[in-house]
């Protein structure tokens, strides 16, 4: 999300796209849409990416943010990444990418351009992968209707192992999924659902879904998010971190 004041810099769109399959390996250009990679892997009967269906953006963007959903993360099957650092091409294996929950070295090396990535996947039945993908797509389309102007989940979920014991005691066990506490649950409990500020509103059915009603500004998003970030801190003693990248704030 870019500040209403803009920022001092350039936006460079990576349009290098293409997928090459060799056995169980897929070599993908960074500008390829993530959904095209997911669809390709399903048709090829290669499992490991099917749960990421419906996540917008490119493969390079997904790698930078270590995107994932429903217990599956793009770095799980990543073998190597080729980047351009402004002077030369570098090839990094998975360990050098410093992946963690929604983090990678690429968020710190903002001048690096992800050119290509290689994934090592598992053989699977295409129809089984397609079924999983379609089920997730149905859930996503109900949560994020096509006409909804939103940046996706605004805050990161929290890893249960990172929470202090006092905070963890306040979380019902059935709310912990894949070792994480949904930020949406914490925001719901803090009263975020249905609230608004300026032209931005929080969905009535999900506390971590902030959307533009038509004339909202970046500052509206930031103010509303910070208000309920603080309310979560007051109630649970934890501070949510934005999953949305904030530029120029």
The whole-number average pLDDT for the span 27-41 is: 97
Instruction: For residues 207 and 193, give the distance between their C-alpha atoms in angstroms, rounded to a whole number.
Output: 5
pLDDT for 146 beyond 80? no
CATH 3.30.465.10 domain position(s) in the chain: 19-130
Range 30-41 average pLDDT: 97
Catalytic residue list: 102, 153, 243
Query: What does the block give as tokens for 225?
Result: 């998010």
- Identify the residue with better confidence: 27 or 243: 27
Q: Looking at the chain, which residues constitute the CATH 3.90.78.10 domain(s)?
A: 145-236
- Return the CATH number of 145-236, one of 3.90.78.10, 1.10.1740.10, 2.130.10.10, 3.30.9.10: 3.90.78.10
DSSP 166-219: HHHTTS-GGG-BTTEE-HHHHHHHTT-TT-EETTEEE-TT-TTBEEE-SS--HH
Q: What is the mean pLDDT of residues 77-99?
A: 95
**Statement: the pTM of the whole predicted model exceeds 0.85:** no
Residue 194: how many CA atoms within 13 Å on its side-chain side? 4
Per-residue pLDDT of 156-180, as tens digits, reads 999 888 888 888 888 888 888 888 8
Where does the pLDDT of residue 77 fall: very low under 50, low under 70, confident under 90, or very high at 90 and above? very high
Q: Of the given ranges (25-29, 143-147, 170-174), which has the lowest mean pLDDT?
A: 143-147
Domain 19-130 maps to which CATH number in 3.40.50.1100, 3.30.470.10, 3.40.190.10, 3.30.465.10?
3.30.465.10
């Amino acid at each position: 999300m870019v500040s209403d004041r803009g920022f001092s810099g350039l936006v460079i769109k990576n349009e290098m796209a293409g997928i090459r399959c060799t056995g169980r390996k897929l070599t993908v250009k960074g500008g390829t849409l993530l959904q095209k990679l997911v669809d390709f892997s399903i048709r090829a009967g290669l499992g490991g990416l099917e749960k990421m269906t419906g996540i917008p953006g490119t493969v390079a963007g997904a790698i930078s943010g270590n995107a994932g959903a429903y217990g599956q993360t793009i770095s799980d099957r990543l073998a190597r990444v080729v980047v351009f650092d402004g002077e030369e091409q570098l090839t990094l294996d998975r360990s050098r990418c410093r992946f963690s929950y929604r983090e990678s070295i690429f968020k710190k090396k903002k001048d690096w351009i992800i050119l290509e990535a290689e994934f090592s996947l598992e053989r699977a039945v295409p129809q089984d992968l397609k079924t999983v993908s379609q089920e997730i797509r149905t859930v996503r389309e109900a949560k994020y209707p096509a006409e909804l102007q939103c940046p996706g989940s605004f805050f990161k979920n929290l890893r249960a192992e990172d929470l202090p014991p006092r905070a963890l005691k306040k979380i019902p066990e059935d709310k912990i999924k894949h070792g994480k506490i949904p930020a949406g649950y914490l925001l719901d409990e803090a009263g975020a659902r249905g609230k608004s500020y300026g032209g931005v509103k929080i969905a009535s059915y999900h506390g971590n879904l902030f959307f533009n009603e038509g004339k909202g500004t970046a500052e509206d998003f930031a103010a509303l998010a910070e208000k309920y970030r603080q309310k979560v801190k007051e109630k649970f003693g934890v501070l949510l971190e934005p999953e949305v990248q904030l530029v120029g704030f």
